[in-house]
Amino acid sequence: MSEVSAPGMLSPKVLIPFLLTGTIWGSTWFVITGQIDVAPAAWSVFYRFLIACPALFGVAVLMGRRLRLTGREQLLALGVGIAQFSGNFLFVYHAEMYITSGIVAVMFALLMVPNALFARVFIGEKVQGGFIGGSLVAIAGVALLLVHEWRAAPLGGNVLLGIALAVCGMLSASIANVVQANPTGRGVPMVSLLAWAMLYGTGLDLLFALVTAGPPPLPQEWRFWAGTAYLALVGSVVTFPLHYNLVREIGAGRTAYNAIVTVCVAMLLSTLFEGYRWTTLTASGAALALLGMALALRARRVKAVQVQQGGALRR
pLDDT tens digits for 203-262? 999 999 999 999 999 999 999 999 999 999 999 999 999 988 887 788 766 777 787 788
Cβ atoms of 294 and 134 closer than 8 Å: yes
DSSP state of 111: G
DSSP state of 66: -
Domain that holds residue 274: 2-312
The DSSP element (H or E) to which 307 belongs, if any, is strand 307-308
Domain count, the chain: 1
Residue 300 confidence (pLDDT) above 70: no
Rounded CA gap, 194 and 106, in Å? 26
Cβ atoms of 163 and 14 closer than 8 Å: no
Residue 312 confidence (pLDDT) above 50: no
Greater confidence (191 vs 262) lies with 191
Residue 127 confidence (pLDDT) above 70: no
Residue 62 confidence (pLDDT) above 60: yes
Sign of CA dihedral 165, 149, 231, 59: negative
Rounded CA gap, 120 and 128, in Å? 12
Neighbours of 269 (CB within 10 A): 15
pLDDT for 88-114, tens place per residue? 999 999 998 888 777 787 778 777 778
pTM equals: 0.82
